[in-house]
Amino acid sequence: MELYLDQIIQKKKRMDGEQLMSGELDNSFNALMVSGEGESGQAHHEGTGTTLLGWKDLPMELLLRILSMAGDDRMVIVGSGVCTGWRDTLEWGVTNLSLSWCQAHMNDLVMSLAQKFTKLQVLSLRQIKPQLEDSAVEAVANNCHDLRELDLSRSFRLSDRSLYALAHGCPHLTRLNISGCSNFSDAALAYLSSQCKNLKCLNLCGCVRAVSDRALQAIACNCGQLQSLNLGWCDSVTDKGVTSLASGCPELRALDLYESVVALANGCPHLRSLGLYYCQNITDRAMYSLAANSRRVRSKGRSWDAAARKNAGAGADGLASLNISQCTALTPPAVQAVCDSFPALHTCPERHSLIISGCLSLTSVHCACAHHPHRHGRAILSNHAY
């Protein structure tokens, strides 16, 4: 494995890294030497008094800054092979890494790097074609215990082994994207939620076996801080699962699903974004429930007064984005009721947040801007004031 990584490092040096390392970086270092020369002709780091004889003597903060400006995580891997000092600095200092650029042998690369970059907090392993296997995820879980954000989307080869490994090794996860991982079971997902209770953002789009009412009940029971949940293409979810989310995840702000929203309207007063595209079984009952929820919020003293309307886009409660494209069962009166209840929803082109494409019957639905052009004009001026 070490030989394989060394081959990658050497190849990267010859290709993208060679000019930067031997050319621009050398010129920059020479400039640093000249500007910092003392009487001895050697550069000194003012903060520590350390003599800078070459790249290997750069302070850790400066080295990390230089590589971050390169804008390519491949340079981090190249840099870790320059010398022992650089390797140690990067292994301890790098907390954010993306290997999504890797189109071949990602599994081997992850297994090698996981043992070195143990301080990672953010790791993206998104793939164009499936490469990752359980062994790589297990390596991450066994070494990167401080991980907070992980993207494993389109990892079609992964099994429940990966979720169990993450549950044991990465309990501090707050964001997890496993969209398209169709081999996971609902039992494994439920167990993950019992160990990773700090999850705030969870993407389960296309996890058709994992997303069930049982799994959603476990998530609702364990992940009370959840704010964003994507359940797209998960057709096993029923009102039972959605109802459990409504009672257990009151902080939900964004939800993408294909089933009923009645329970969500009742239980999630902070909901700001809702995607129901292609939910052709969604009926007017869901829309009227959303509108009724807005009235309940007003009755509790959180009304959309003039100040709230003015600052609707600055974090005030209430729907600010609703996608009901291709929801052909909805009628204009029901959708208009939602639009009237949430001032942050707009059909006007400049502030398009109520999306109704594919619904020819809803063309008569308009936001308040259409009836009060002067209000629309003030909103535009306000948006451009900053």
Cα–Cα distance, 295 to 292 (Å, whole number) = 5
Q: Is pLDDT above 70 for 271?
A: yes
- The string of pLDDT tens digits covering residues 146-182 is 999 999 999 999 999 999 999 999 999 999 999 999 9
Residue 67: pLDDT band (50, 70, 90) is low
Map tokens 């959303």 to a residue. 290
Average pLDDT in the 68-79 region? 71
- Name the pairing type of β-strands 51-52 and 43-44: antiparallel
Cα–Cα distance, 259 to 13 (Å, whole number) = 52
Q: Is pLDDT above 50 for 380?
A: no
Lowest-confidence pick of 136-140, 330-334, 373-377: 373-377
* Burial bucket for residue 281 (CB in 10 Å: 0-12, 13-18, 19+): exposed
Q: What are phi and psi of 201, to 5 degrees?
A: -135, 120
Average pLDDT taken over every residue of the chain = 78
Percent of the chain with pLDDT over 90: 40
- Is 85 in contact with 110 (CB distance < 8 Å)? no
- Is 120 in contact with 95 (CB distance < 8 Å)? yes
User: In this predicted structure, what is the pLDDT of residue 369?
Assistant: 78
Q: Is pLDDT above 90 for 381?
A: no
User: In this predicted structure, what is the pLDDT of residue 66?
Assistant: 65
User: In this predicted structure, what is the pLDDT of residue 348?
Assistant: 87
- The string of pLDDT tens digits covering residues 100-117 is 999 899 999 999 999 989
| Beta strands in 194-272, from DSSP E residues, in sequence order | 201-203, 228-230, 254-256
- Is 318 in contact with 342 (CB distance < 8 Å)? yes
Residue 327: pLDDT band (50, 70, 90) is confident
Average pLDDT in the 351-371 region? 87
Q: Is pLDDT above 70 for 331?
A: yes
Cα–Cα distance, 161 to 309 (Å, whole number) = 49
Percent of the chain with pLDDT over 70: 68
- The string of pLDDT tens digits covering residues 27-61 is 544 544 344 444 444 444 455 455 555 555 667 67
Report the 10 Å Cβ neighbour count for 254: 16
Which has the closest alpha carbon to 336: 367, 369, 304? 367
Residue 305, sorted as left (phi over 0), alpha (psi -120 to 50) or beta, turns out to be beta
